[in-house]
Structure 1
């Protein structure tokens, strides 16, 4: 079921009251509850936090052309648990219906996270779009108010590349869907790192760019200009879809060896 339909089914007449009454909690995961964040948290000297909303066509405007919404990682790992999905949906309702309050709470949590990191001697790093693609550079003052935080995200919007503050590093998220070819072309004209999800292992080179293993450390991925960040297909993306576009790329080295 597409993300927008799932979220629509979740909505109640009270809107974000569902968040206020049932899911009052922090927006940011600062303890490594998300597997990807926990793995990267081991990369000293950073401490990593993330915001996991529920992906929809509105929150991920490039997802329809990319063909990645139905096989999104929102349904993998801890996303298979109903309470985790409900929490993400509630946060998304909060963002959609009470944006000023959401941003105010997010700013407070970012300040608190920065203070916690300062006490422990760690450098704060934050991924605000763990499962979404919101241009947060338009909503919070990253270069000023939060200059001490390193922000990192993946995006399917090539127009965002090379336009964010210095402390907000973006990795472009490639899709093998033909409808996404124009975004891919625009991204390859930049020097931004480009993440590609592969089946059957990682190739050595993809579209003339060297491929590095991107499953190890998100933060390191963001500082590898001119490279392809190779990610192994996980969850529903392991198997090609029965119909529709496929954002995952089959390892060209394996295909070449078999031909």
Structure 2
């Protein structure tokens, strides 16, 4: 497959999907979770693509099953039903427009419940996966260079505060989340056809080792596209994407303060 990597800086109202996303069966829309502009772009692309189904990294399937058009029309009620305030995700107001962009879509959740994640940290991650771990490639060891790089990124993401012995398990959990996203996207496509839109972090949307890799393995016939989003002045997100965009940076405290 030929892959186009484009970096653009656009006003939020301008759309640039063109033919990159229009013909895809599954479109991964990446984000930095706390950047408001990223969620606006996801909502705009979702509205433009009019998906049959939306898959959220932020929801479990049990939560996704609660979403209805009536709740989407009342964001405060939807936030309460989803128990969003206890989820650890940023303000629901940033995500509500994405739901509103496709109120009649089917909703799927790919989040790994906390108890499952805790169990996976203590044992074989493949056993915690909803699907066939062998078919999805979740039971295969990573190439050494990728394992090393992913451990490095985990350490950096946690402000160099993690014990080194925790890093392999942290990578395994990320792989589990990748596979769960792929599992849900495949389910959504099989049940409803294309296009399916997946809302997730950049790390899971990247085409070189994120959820698209797992989806391609079990459904090579699907056409997949991925958006990565960065912040203006901070370079491109790590990884391979079909399209890269930049929004105004979030205003945030130093995330490493919590580790000091």
| TM-score computed with the length of structure 1 as normaliser | 0.31
Where is the strand percentage greater, Structure 1 or Structure 2? 1
Looking at both structures, which has the greater relative contact order when contacts are Cα pairs under 8 Å and sequence separation is at least 6? Answer: 2
